[in-house]
Amino acid sequence: MLHSRLILLAALAGLLSGCGSVTVGHLPDPPSDDAVADANQAFKKCLADADTQLDDGKANAMTVADAIEPRCAVQFAALQGIMGQGLTPYDAHLRRDAMGMSENFMITSYVLQRRSAKSGN
């Protein structure tokens, strides 16, 4: 009985000794500048097309952004994926979450910038 407990404790100690060290395997290469630019451009084109169709210049900009968001979800997801390349899985997850939380803010800002450009301000 004592012998089996010692073996169990030794095995547990061996397992726990590796918990303090983090070994990162080979990470994929980060995305190329061209890949980032292409994904960003595709997202911006989608925003421009949707904004042209949906924004009458009178509706609340956040309401317009809410309508644009699902129309550009595929392009936004592609951009999130590109921006997560070359990161650890955890860091890629954090990047996707951060981008997701600011998606509506980015689109609302885009709508307001387009309105400002249309009015010449």
Q: Which of 65, 49, 58, 59 is nearest to 107 (CA)?
A: 65
Q: Which residue has the tokens 């709508």?
A: 111
Tens of pLDDT, residues 89-104: 999 999 999 999 999 9
pLDDT, position 26:
77
Alpha carbon 30 to chain centroid, angstroms: 14
Q: Which of 69, 70, 87 is nearest to 25 (CA)?
A: 87
Arithmetic mean of pLDDT over the chain: 84
Which pTM does this prediction carry? 0.74
CA–CA distance, 83 with 106 (Å, rounded to integer): 16
Q: Which residue has the tokens 């042209």?
A: 52
CA–CA distance, 32 with 18 (Å, rounded to integer): 34
